[in-house]
Structure 1
Amino acid sequence: LLEQADVLVQNLAPGAAARLGLSYEALRERHPQLIVCDISGYGSDGPYRDKKAYDLLIQSESGFLSVTGLPDAPAKAGCSVADISAGMYAQSNILAALLQRGKSGRGCHIEVSMLESMVEWMSYPLYYAFDGAAPPPRAGAAHATIFPYGPFRAGDGKTVMLGLQNEREWQVFCTQVLELPELASDARFSSNSRRTQARDELRALIDEGFARLSSEQLIARLDAAQIANARMNDMHDVWEHPQLKARGRWTEVDTPCGPIPALLPPGEVDSFTPRMDAVPALGQHSDAILLELGWDQAAIERLRAVGAV
């Protein structure tokens, strides 16, 4: 496989690839153009080198849990953000390495740490707490330092997210959305810092106003006032999202169990159509891969007879 490979990616425990003879140092002379990308939890050295690293553990070590959730209950992300962040930095570094190889003719070694990838994503709360300053508090789905900015329940029980960014929007919000123009000049709420300090009092007034509106009526008022807003969709809503449908972002791929819908890759490129092949059945391509590697059909059958493939 290495004879024809551009990139080798591995996420075995630190040191395991070297023991198998698959480290960059072991391969670089025989395969000088090969790019080797090692992904690990904490890196190849340092005191945490040999600690086990799962997505949720890295969310915790990186400080993500400390700023996510409710004041008395931290919460993990709803998807595997630590795994995804490491994968994204592996991809971007590999693409950069391929461009570099196109100029130098030589491969290189890339090391990606899940912890370092997640800490990079934590830059805003990290610098917020720089030099001993207080970190942003956990505030659920609401913004920790801007109010109103977060989820609010409409009269039909559905939740609408909204966010104000400046004093002009606060004035418009009071007059056109809440229809309480007197709030705009209320000294208790005359700046974002004061609104944040009095968020419980202000939330009660907003909840009272929104209780008279359905979610659709509320969104219509917010849109008319040009206040940023969004529906709090569940997964069923996302399957039916009108924007994704209008932009033709769904396609269909075959699987061993029949066709299923699949989202096209993000990033619409006008020079090619993304390749979306069928999901293969278990072992469907084993023979083709082994034949490509030089095994003959008789040898493949012997492997199959002993349960190796």
Structure 2
Amino acid sequence: MQGPLTGVVVLDLSRALAGPHAAQMLGDLGARVIKIEHPQGGDESRGWGPPFVGPDGDISTYFLAANRNKQSITLDLKASDDRDTLTRLIRHSDVLIENFRSGVLARLGFSTERIEELNPRMVLLSITGFGHDGPEGGRPGYDQIAQGEAGLMSITGPPGQPHRAGPSIADLLAGIHGAYGVAAALYEREKTGKGGVIRTSLLASVVGVHAYHGTQWTVAGQVPQANGNHHASIAPFGAFRCGDGMIQIAAGNDGHWQKVATLLGIDPARPEYATNRDRFAHRDELVNEMEKVLTTETRDHWLGALAEAGVPAGSIRTIDEVYTWDQTRSQGLLAEVDHPVLGPIELPGPVLRFDHHTSQDHTAPPALGADNDAVLDWLKGKEAP
């Protein structure tokens, strides 16, 4: 693969989702990613499902989602020979990603000080559940627990009924933030000649996207509440019932509201609806009044009318509808790869497009240890006099 990070070598010691997602993002940008897995079973997400696919029903679609554009080698880091191999790899790589619990990598003989000694240019990304230090720094972290501890569940779902976000968003955000940190560290290394350690966590990554929910508490002193399918600060802005289902309407300013009101036969200047502050204070009443009209026609009718009026609106698609949508496909959001067992398959693709780089070919997530020989041969070549 060619891309902005072509020539960068990434060692991916992580497993499950946060670290692998970060490494996959770097691979999408052209980095060579070497995934290091335990010989017995490898990354535990290889066993996570359903669904499982393949002739033997043993290939996890969960694993496929986070491990494209990687090579897999097997090392048992409790064995001295395999620790020696990792030592050699560290000397000739640029980035190491790990999401062990705090202190585990050091106990295996690879403290941050040891890694810096082996390769002063190494960029180390460490992802934990709740941070590497502090009173609860050693806690194991899984996505749903982090969603709850970081406040996300309290503002998701219907009022008074905490819900997890559908995707493992704490893991994914940690991976995204981690990849962002690696890119910044690689840029800094060009100026200083030195690598460094980047730390993030599931907790930090969720708190970091609280945005206006955070300032609602830190500045205004109000504890945010769940608002179901409606916006926490804007009205009307959310999901509304129509005659045959639901649509979403986003009246983000007074101009949009006036168009919505005119379309639905509501006086936009009524005192209780005149400004966003007024509309939000009377949101329940407003939603009921809008839905009385919206339920008289179909979703397609209203989506067409709203589009003609210039009001942001949309349908609520199922996942299969998203991946068959022409707009999704036009944006390169699916990556076709040739899997050694499954043949040609489509995976959710990279989210960045660079005008000066043509579309890239992607490689399928690897079988466990599939690249042992190739990586060791590459390593010997790097070490040759």
Q: TM-score, normalised by structure 1?
A: 0.87
Instruction: Give the match's secondary structure for 1:73.
Output: coil
**Which segments of 5 or more consecutive residues in structure 2 lack a partner in the other structure?**
1-88, 381-385
Name the structure 1 match of 2:293.
209
Name the structure 2 match of 1:257.
342
- State the alpha-carbon separation in 2 of the partners of residues 218 and 201 from structure 1: 20
Kindly tell me: are residues 165 and 199 of structure 1, through their superposed partners in 2, closer, same or farther at Cα, counting changes over 3 Å? same
**Aligned residues of 1:62 and 1:122 also touching (Cα < 8 A):** no
Q: 1:46-195, aligned counterparts within 5 Å?
A: 46-131=134-219, 133-156=221-244, 158-175=245-262, 177-178=263-264, 180-181=265-266, 183-195=267-279
Deviation at 1:67, TM superposition (A): 1.4
Query: What amino acid is the match of 1:198?
Result: H
Q: Deviations over 1:42-69 (max 9, x none)?
A: 2222101111211111111211112111
**Aligned residues of 1:264 and 1:274 also touching (Cα < 8 A):** no
- State the alpha-carbon separation in 1 of the partners of residues 301 and 307 from structure 2: 10
2:376 matches 1:283: no
**Which segments of 5 or more consecutive residues in structure 1 lack a partner in the other structure?**
295-309
**Aligned residues of 1:136 and 1:145 also touching (Cα < 8 A):** no
- State the alpha-carbon separation in 2 of the partners of residues 81 and 215 from structure 1: 29
Deviation at 1:279, TM superposition (A): 3.4
Q: Deviations over 1:1-24 (max 9, x none)?
A: 112111111111111111112121
- State the alpha-carbon separation in 1 of the partners of residues 222 and 135 from structure 2: 27
Deviation at 1:99, TM superposition (A): 1.3
Q: 1:6-25, aligned counterparts within 5 Å?
A: 6-25=94-113
Kindly tell me: are residues 85 and 173 of structure 1, through their superposed partners in 2, closer, same or farther at Cα, counting changes over 3 Å? same
- State the alpha-carbon separation in 1 of the partners of residues 332 and 148 from structure 2: 38
Instruction: Give the match's secondary structure for 2:235.
Output: coil
Which is greater in Rg?
A: 1
Q: Which sits farther off after the overlay, 253-262 or 269-278?
A: 269-278
**Aligned residues of 2:332 and 2:350 also touching (Cα < 8 A):** no
- State the alpha-carbon separation in 2 of the partners of residues 231 and 44 from structure 1: 42
Instruction: Give the match's secondary structure for 1:72.
Output: coil
**Aligned residues of 2:230 and 2:238 also touching (Cα < 8 A):** yes
Instruction: Give the match's secondary structure for 1:151.
Output: strand
- State the alpha-carbon separation in 2 of the partners of residues 249 and 8 from structure 1: 27
Query: What amino acid is the match of 2:283?
Result: R
Instruction: Give the match's secondary structure for 1:43.
Output: coil
Name the structure 2 match of 1:244.
328
Name the structure 1 match of 2:360.
274
**Aligned residues of 1:254 and 1:279 also touching (Cα < 8 A):** no
Deviation at 1:262, TM superposition (A): 2.9
- State the alpha-carbon separation in 1 of the partners of residues 336 and 229 from structure 2: 33
**Aligned residues of 2:258 and 2:268 also touching (Cα < 8 A):** yes
Instruction: Give the match's secondary structure for 2:141.
Output: coil
- State the alpha-carbon separation in 1 of the partners of residues 240 and 158 from structure 2: 16
Instruction: Identify the structure with bigger relative contact order (alpha carbons < 8 Å, sequence gap 6+).
Output: 2
- State the alpha-carbon separation in 2 of the partners of residues 165 and 154 from structure 1: 20
Deviation at 1:132, TM superposition (A): 6.2
Instruction: Give the match's secondary structure for 1:133.
Output: coil
Q: TM-score, normalised by structure 2?
A: 0.71
Identity within the alignment, %: 32
Query: What amino acid is the match of 2:350?
Result: P
